[in-house]
Structure 1
């Protein structure tokens, strides 16, 4: 038993009809979902669940994955595939719901669109940084992608200079202006082991992404010191109504 991940088939789909297949202490598990679960640093989707039989509506405040099958592939991070996905709700609602109930799942489009923009922008920033400091991707020790920012933490013994940040920002915005296509493709041995590719740069990533760099709009980049031997790179993307309106 697993949850069908509709966000891989159509990343712009924001609602679907689904059946409750399991009640979990933290929420509900459905046979399918459009809600992206927390993973790879990206926060989980939020939204509403509406029961079709009586229009009973419940907010879900996070989405996470459990169980699944571990995979170990050469040159790919160890991940779980074929997972179940929990839509987190207040536990007081659980007694009012039964397995087999049918719900309309709807994600918060604005939240998803900004998460997606920040995730894609963070890839552009790392792509630009790799050109200047090859191998720095091996120094990543943390990541977080939200609707407000995207960040990467590095274990390095120097600080990102203002000149470097300006170069990264200019390069990212140049890529955006060029409207370069982005490709998402699967590992030949595992359909859920996904890659993000732009130009000749490819990295393992199963997050949500724009179809082209031009969707992003504009990127601002800054840094933060988080220790003597660690540095944080932060990207920020203003709200983009054109991209938001592409969600269905």
Structure 2
């Protein structure tokens, strides 16, 4: 299994690691700061650096062949197993993901409907809500601005699977369920605003989200309303 340093500290942008496997278009490391594609959030990009060479990390994915392992997709001939490397995350891209992902949690607080789809990228975020109710774009923007300005602390903790089972209302997503089998589940908490299972990367205070704008509200189907976010300017 790959030690997932990003789960505990989303501000960590680099770490030393060792190549422990090759395949699936890249290399597996014993530890990493790179978030793998999942939960609607894009995988991190960045670089692997050894004494002799530098490789571009084009994407980060969960291994399909080895549960618990994370594959770093790289350009060029991969480093050999046993090679010590430095992992470096593309910092501006990571920060965009952190801001957008936290902003989607604010949307969940403002819109009390189940979520049936999401996408978090470097340039936009979207969240699909299962409802036939219309959304007021101006009211939603005002709500986001207020929650950002209120500077709510953002943190995470771990609860047992039994605790989650006892509080099924914590799960807002209809399409992505928290991973099972590890005995514990990571929950993201925005103090006084939102609490739900989430494994993604986030800012540490809502003020760090900065200026985000509701760029579009769409009716995707009879029971789906989509909200799209972008950065101001």
TM range (shorter): 0.7 to 0.9
Give the structure 2 partner of residue 197 of structure 1: 189
TM-score, normalised by the number of residues in structure 2? 0.83
CA distance in 1, matches of 2:98, 2:184: 18
* Aligned twin of 1:83: 68
Alignment of 1:1-248 (within 5 A): 2-52=1-51, 54=52, 56-66=53-63, 83-90=68-75, 92-94=76-78, 97-130=79-112, 136-137=113-114, 140-160=115-135, 164-188=136-160, 193-198=185-190, 199-221=192-214, 222-238=216-232
1:232–1:85 CA distance, 2 compared to 1 (3 A) = same
CA contact (8 A) 2:106 2:194 kept: no
Q: Which runs of 5+ in 2 are unaligned?
A: 162-181
Tell me how many residue pairs correspond in the alignment. 211
TM-score, scaled to structure 1: 0.78
Q: Deviations over 1:31-69 (max 9, x none)?
A: 0001011111000000111113x1x11101110112699
* SS at structure 2 position matched to 1:157: coil
Which residues of structure 1 form unaligned runs of 5+? 70-81, 131-135, 240-248
In structure 2, what is the equivalent of residue 245 of structure 1? Answer: none
Provide the rounded CA distance (Å) in 2 between the counterparts of 1:107 and 1:86: 14
How far the C-alpha of 1:10 sits from its partner, in A, is 2.1
Structure 1 consecutive aligned stretches of length 4 or more whose deviation exceeds 6 Å:
none
Cα 1:154–1:200 shift into 2, 3 Å:
closer
**Alignment root-mean-square deviation, CA:** 2.1
SS at 1:93's partner residue?
coil
